[in-house]
Chain A
Amino acid sequence: MQKVFERPKGLTDNEFAYCPGCLHSVVHRMIAEVMEELDIIQNTVCVCPVGCSVFMYEYMACDVIEAAHGRAPAVATGVKRVLPDRVVFAYQGDGDLASIGTAEIIHAAARGEQLSVIFINNATYGMTGGQMAPTTLIGQKSTTCKMGRDPQISGYPIKICEMLATLDGPSYIERVAPTSPAGLVKTKKAIKKAFQNQIDGKRFSMVEVLSNCPQQWHMNPIDTFKFIEDEVSKVFPPGVYVDR
């Protein structure tokens, strides 16, 4: 019988430890597929974050570095500057990229580092138990804003794509929502483009993935997709922000 679906070579044999329905797994798989399709598994260095995806090094078949919380873009810069012919990518959550690591991402983007960044925005701190993230929506509940995020106390969600799009450094910035078949196709295409750009010698490329957290949102996975489409996408509109 013909095999029509198998594990991409970009993944190791380890089983994902993510919660059921968590999009971290889906995006991991897409990155692995892209590495295989572009034939760069043997030439890629992944820099993984602190967050639920901290164990990414267990799953990616390429070389992997575990960075300190928020520092992945700086670590990736260090690798890419001394190994310019390797493909270097960083994978970061919203706490990692949009809170503790804001300086690192802004400056990597401003310098136009030849990196690919996959940014998983799930509007919460998944790993530490669902605290408020810089991307938590106004009114959205978390363990540190139990009545919902109040702008009087906690200000407003940070829109990273829009911020980075003001810079001249980036070559490509897109926000995607993998919550429908069409969204999944778009997400994979965007990730592939972020890697292809780097191979082509373009500068900084980032894909923000509107992700979910069934565990900390206290929702079943299907409802999380609806929430992303109805609520999250209103604050963080999907689309291409930079492409040059």
Chain B
Amino acid sequence: MTTRKLIKGNIAICHGAVAAKCDAFFGYPITPQNEIPELMSDLMPANGGIFLQAESEISAISMVYGAACAGKRAMTSSSSPGISLKQEGISYIAACELPCVIVNVQRGGPGLGNTLPSQADYFQTVKGGGHGDYKMLTLAPWSAQECYEFMPLAFDLADRYQNPAMILMDAIVGQMLEPVDLHNNFEICDYSKSWATIGARGRAHNIINSLWIDPEVMENLNLRMQAKYAAAQLHETRYAEYRTDDAELILVAYGSPARIAKTVVDMARDEGMAVGLLRPITLFPFPSARIAEYAKNGSRFMALEMSAGQMVEDVRLAVNGMADVAFYGRTGGVVPTPTDILNVVRASFSKPPVFSSYPSERRSVK
């Protein structure tokens, strides 16, 4: 049975975790994701699971590591400064090839920053924020509905690839109230976890470890991980497109900026500019092949981010010099308005800027 509820993205994450049959949640308070541990402290015990508020993000991810070693579906959530602290644990979890889900509701940075929307943790997320050659399978929801639906997907990807999966959000996606269909159309697979450390119970003892002194053995682990990532690139790349078919300019954006960009596509189309939107849904694996196809067919690109320009580097790598790649971004918690973006789009079509009729927009353009 489907219920429809008006909820925040953060709340949808919690219901998605329950739908995914998450066994354990370990977290530490930080804005703008506090709704998640608060609701999980009710939902987990109510559904036979474990909730524990850890003493720090380092401990929370270490607890996730322990619960994942025990073969359970474990998760944690945090926001940028807390995610920085989790990098040690994420590297270990990736190296031990353990599944888990980490939610990052990004906030303005660097440093303590602020609690406003930002996407400045893209590099940290997809380029390996912790040490070593690893990747996180990364999903970027743009709505509360996707927050709900990506939790079972993230757990499934994590189990299938035995790798940490991240849900990368921004404070708008986490905090915005939207109607969400809390359906149950998920196939929750039971993965065999013969490697789990649950007590040997008659079999040879299991060891979960990431220390490999012999360089050849260590390299073999790396090669196996890279093969996994190549397979994920092939099979798990997800993206959405809007009016891209005949687009001269393709806006590339994920999360909240993609929603603003969609509005801009329609505004630009009304003015006769052939603009489309490509929204990466997986940030790793990145939809590079799709972007390259458009580049070959003569489209040019503009990356839109709430950062100083991070994802744009992956767009450029995908395009590989075949087409022009422009960038527009705001940082520190400033959210670009449709008119902000429309004006950069207009400039790229050699058209003069327009002024917004929204007073709220005029304030933010100063």
Contact = CB atoms under 8 A, between A and B. Distances in A.
Nearest to B213: A55
Interface in A32-62: 41-45, 47, 54-55, 57, 60-62
A77 interface: yes
Interface string B35-78: 00000000000000010101110111011111111101010000
B134 to A, nearest CB: 14
B199 A65 contact: no
A10 to B, nearest CB: 10
A69 to B, nearest CB: 9
Given A44-B199, A71-B89, A104 B210 contact: no
Given A74-B54, A78-B26, A82-B50, A63 B63 contact: no
Interface-central residue, A78, A83, A107, by most chain B CB under 10 Å: A78
Interface in B162-198: 197-198
A189 B67 CA distance: 30
A128 to B, nearest CB: 14
A145 interface: no
Contacts of B197: 45, 63-65, 79
Contacts of A44: 199
A195 B60 CA distance: 25
B206 interface: yes
A61 B199 CA distance: 10
Nearest to A66: B209
A66 B211 contact: yes
Given A66-B208, A66-B210, A66-B211, A75 B63 contact: yes
B215 interface: no
A44 B206 CA distance: 11
Contacts of B65: 65, 67-68, 71, 75, 78
A11 B202 CA distance: 15
Interface-central residue, B60, B199, B201, by most chain A CB under 10 Å: B199
Contact of B199 (A12, A63, A66, A104): A63
A78 B205 contact: no
A103 interface: yes
B286 interface: no
Contacts of B24: 78, 81-82
B146 to A, nearest CB: 28
B59 A63 contact: no
Contacts of A213: none
A42 B199 contact: yes
Contacts of A82: 23-24, 50, 66-67, 70, 72, 74
Nearest to A12: B205
B207 interface: yes
Nearest to A79: B66
A111 B198 CA distance: 22
B88 interface: yes
A136 B127 CA distance: 40
Contacts of A68: 62, 65, 88-89, 92
B67 A78 contact: yes
Interface string A205-229: 0000000000000000000000000
Nearest to B64: A78
A82 B75 CA distance: 13
Contacts of A186: none
B59 A103 contact: yes
A74 B62 contact: yes
Interface string B199-226: 1111001111111000000000000000
Contacts of B56: 103
Contacts of B88: 68, 71
A78 B89 contact: no
Contact of B200 (A42, A65, A106): A42
B209 A79 contact: no
Contact of A65 (B52, B64, B66): B66
Given A68-B89, A78-B26, A62 B66 contact: no
Contacts of B59: 71, 74, 77, 103-104, 107
Contacts of B70: 45, 78-79, 82-83
B26 to A, nearest CB: 7
A86 interface: yes
Given A54-B211, A63-B199, A81 B52 contact: yes
A83 B71 CA distance: 10
B355 to A, nearest CB: 53
Nearest to A80: B66
Contacts of A65: 65-66, 69, 197, 207-209
A76 interface: yes
Given A66-B207, A66-B211, A79-B69, A42 B201 contact: yes
B66 A74 contact: yes
Contacts of A12: 205
Nearest to A67: B62
Contact of A75 (B62, B206, B210): B62
B74 A78 contact: yes
A70 to B, nearest CB: 9
Interface-central residue, B26, B56, B65, B197, by most chain A CB under 10 Å: B197
A80 B63 CA distance: 10
Given A43-B199, A55-B211, A65-B69, 5 more contacts: A63-B197, A67-B62, A71-B59, A86-B199, A103-B55
8 contacts: A45-B70, A45-B197, A74-B59, A75-B63, A75-B66, A77-B66, A78-B26, A82-B72
A-B complex: 3 closest residue pairs judged by Cβ atoms = A78-B66, A74-B62, A78-B63
